[in-house]
Amino acid sequence: MTKYNAGKCDVAVIGAGHAGIEAALACARMGLDTVCFTVNLDSVGNMPCNPAIGGTGKGHLVRELDALGGEMARAADMACIQYRMLNRGKGPAVHSLRAQADRRHYQEVMKQTLERQENLRTKQAEVVEIGTCDGRVCSVTTHTGAVFECKAAIIASGTYLSGRTIVGEVICSSGPDGLAAATKLTESLVNMGLSIRRFKTGTPPRVNARSVDFSKMELQEGDIEPEGFSFDTLCPPENKAVCYLTYTNERTHKIILDNIDRSPIYSGVIEGVGPRYCPSIETKIMTFKDKPRHQLFIEPMGLNTEELYIQGLSSSLPEDVQLELVHTIAGLEHAEITRCAYAIEYDCVDPTELYPTLETKKISGLYGAGQFNGSSGYEEAAVQGFVAGVNAALKIKGEAPLILKRSDGYIGTLIDDLVTKGTNEPYRMMTSRSEYRLLHRQDNADKRLCAIGLRIGLVSPARYEAVLAKYEAVKKEIDRLEHTHIAPTAELNALLTQCGTAELNSGASLADLIRRPQLDYKMLADFDIARPELPKAVWYQAEISLKYEGYIKRQLKQVEEFTRMEERKLPEDIDYSEVTGLRLEAREKLERIRPHSFGQASRISGVSPADISVLMVWLEGRR
């Protein structure tokens, strides 16, 4: 291959999936000359697995990304066709928005957003080599020999890196959806000293809606009053599609068990580690043999296609077995499979080799994002791409990095989990991973993070002023509710009795009534004579603040303790082999991960509270 100088840029982004998009846009919007490379420009923003944005925990990530100035939420609100708020029957901490997307329209929106962005160029090319000079990134080279000089590179390779798809005995070198794999970059990364590992994910078959009997399935409609992802989406989104629910059965399970020896997962063909929280149907049947059925959601791929996605039927079984088992499912007896399910293996890095900025520890100016870092999911990828892009830009500008803490929200939790604890399987965000779920709700992400977005230049002053005004209105409404008292009446006590709560014998404030678990803000509208006309975003915040006041105060105290440990920094040049009293495992883990604070050190698997105490005492003595 003959190489030639193709010019210069500040940042080279390798990949244009959900991580690459956010990384490229962040860099360009921060004023840096950015080039975004992709193996196929028609796959920008592709959804090779489920055609949806959000979900439990994931919806929080999208809202946080929006509050920081990212793009995914805005694109979703332009392209999504059915919205559902998950976990409505539980507390607000776990409410999570999920929406079906028109897959192709989402891609169109994102591709055009990249094309129209100032300071950003998109290039169809496979990056095969990353060049370094004195331990720093200095160039990237494409498969055609084009060498682009750069100051930083962000790897957002998704499942393309040395990808291979597997359907039974059929194995192909391929990225998702039959696109070409990126086969040569891994060698360059290994030569840099990065620890590369092998992960696996999968996707279900797609079927033609014309061949499906929906009368045998349960209708799954969207919310009556749908909410959008972006805080800037002022008009409520419109539900334009429906989903359906059906189930596997004993016949389905028998076919799978009879052919389990042909499954690449159990025959040893698949080498990569798969996601625990999104297992194949084979794994479900083998793990839960006593379960008579498993849910399958039938979801549209878009408004201008008849293809449907069978969520819950991920598989790598041979195609003939897939056909047989699909036809045992109610409503799918005559389904025409348009694309069979497949597993895909790909290369990724050990995320403990990254700083919380997502820069690699071994190569200055080299960043990782998304599935390259060992995570799974579009939303996890997008937020990492944003953080990597912002930090690459800040480093080139000579400014302080952006490090989101666990106490800041789910994005901080995700990154801290990856770089501190590592992962032995594709990492998925869930609400249970956060210690501060009540503080880190999806509805208050703007309050928590817009100031950070303003500081890095990705949130406008006007938008930030609007956020301040919103929460000033919330404060004012809380104060009004605290100081508005109502007397007991027959009508009010009838409502209280109907709701299963005690009647009033004397006057009470509206705030005290709202604090009762059985009541809410809307129920008391007829008794709140002076109630102002407020948007839901304001009165809902007031309601949550009153209902969960005690719990919120408790978590704020926990954050204070967390912050105290995070602010106790560890010297960058510390030699852990000199720290007497440390256990061998702790010494090895601390030396490898190089935590930046006592807080991060305390979260490393294998480092005990006793090790932290030894470290504290040793550092005090050193001073």
Same domain, 339 and 382: no
Instruction: Give the confidence band of 558 by pLDDT, cuts at 50, 70, 90.
Output: very high
3-state secondary structure of 48: coil
If you search the block for the tokens 């040395």, which residue do you land on?
A: 162
- Residue 448 placed within a domain: yes
Tell whether the model's pLDDT for residue 449 goes beyond 80. yes
- Residue 19 placed within a domain: yes
| Residue 52, H or E segment | strand 52-54
Same domain, 76 and 162: yes
pLDDT for the residue 278: 83
Q: Is 310 exposed, middle or buried (0-12, 13-18, 19+ CB in 10 A)?
A: buried
pLDDT for the residue 1: 80
pLDDT for the residue 534: 96
pLDDT for the residue 217: 98
Same domain, 317 and 223: yes
- Residue 142 placed within a domain: yes
pLDDT for the residue 620: 85
Query: What is the distance, to the nearest Å, from the Cα of residue 221 to the centroid of all Cα atoms in its chain?
Result: 24
Check if the beta carbon of residue 28 is closer than 8 Å to that of residue 118.
yes
> How much is the average pLDDT of 419-438?
94
pLDDT for the residue 316: 96
At 86-135, the pLDDT tens digits run: 999 999 999 999 999 999 999 999 999 999 999 999 999 999 999 999 99
- Among the candidates 455, 489, 509, a domain finishes at 455
At 178-195, the pLDDT tens digits run: 999 999 999 999 999 999
Half-sphere exposure of 312 (CA within 13 A, CB side): 15
Same domain, 141 and 256: no
- CATH code, domain with 140: 3.50.50.60
Same domain, 265 and 407: no
- Among the candidates 345, 368, 393, a domain finishes at 345
139 φψ region: left (φ > 0), alpha (ψ -120 to 50), beta (else) = beta
Closest by Cα among 356, 303, 315 to 339? 315
| Residue 412, H or E segment | helix 410-416
464 φψ region: left (φ > 0), alpha (ψ -120 to 50), beta (else) = alpha
Same domain, 47 and 130: yes
Please give the tally of structural domains in the chain: 4
pLDDT averaged over every residue in the chain:
95
pLDDT for the residue 477: 98
Same domain, 367 and 437: yes
Q: State pTM to two decimals.
A: 0.95
Rounded CA-CA distance 275/428 in Å is 8
Q: Identify residue 575 by its one-letter amino acid code.
A: D
Same domain, 130 and 9: yes
At 41-93, the pLDDT tens digits run: 999 999 999 999 999 999 999 999 999 999 999 999 999 999 999 999 999 99
Rounded CA-CA distance 246/330 in Å is 6
At 464-519, the pLDDT tens digits run: 999 999 999 999 999 999 999 999 999 999 999 999 999 999 999 999 999 999 99
Tell whether the model's pLDDT for residue 623 goes beyond 80. no
Same domain, 113 and 169: yes
At 283-340, the pLDDT tens digits run: 999 999 899 999 999 999 999 999 999 999 999 999 999 999 999 999 999 999 999 9
pLDDT for the residue 263: 94
- Residue 561 placed within a domain: no
pLDDT for the residue 489: 94
Same domain, 445 and 474: no
pLDDT for the residue 272: 85
pLDDT for the residue 182: 95
pLDDT for the residue 395: 98
- Residue 272 placed within a domain: yes
- Among the candidates 345, 372, 402, a domain finishes at 345
For 228-289, give the DSSP string: -SSTT--SPP-----EEEEE--HHHHHHHHHTGGG-HHHHT---SBPPTTS--HHHHHHH-T
Check if the beta carbon of residue 36 is closer than 8 Å to that of residue 121.
yes
At 303-319, the pLDDT tens digits run: 999 999 999 999 999 99
For residue 480, give every residue at least 6 positions away whose Cβ sits within 8 Å of its Cβ, in sequence order, or none.
530, 532
pLDDT for the residue 310: 98
Same domain, 338 and 381: no
Q: Which of the two residues, 244 and 623, has the higher pLDDT score?
A: 244
Check if the beta carbon of residue 426 is closer than 8 Å to that of residue 374.
yes
- CATH code, domain with 612: 1.10.150.570
Check if the beta carbon of residue 405 is closer than 8 Å to that of residue 566.
yes
- Residue 563 placed within a domain: no
Full domain range(s) for residue 234: 206-345
- Residue 45 placed within a domain: yes
Same domain, 333 and 363: no
For 527-538, give the DSSP string: G-TT-----HHH
- CATH code, domain with 492: 1.10.10.1800
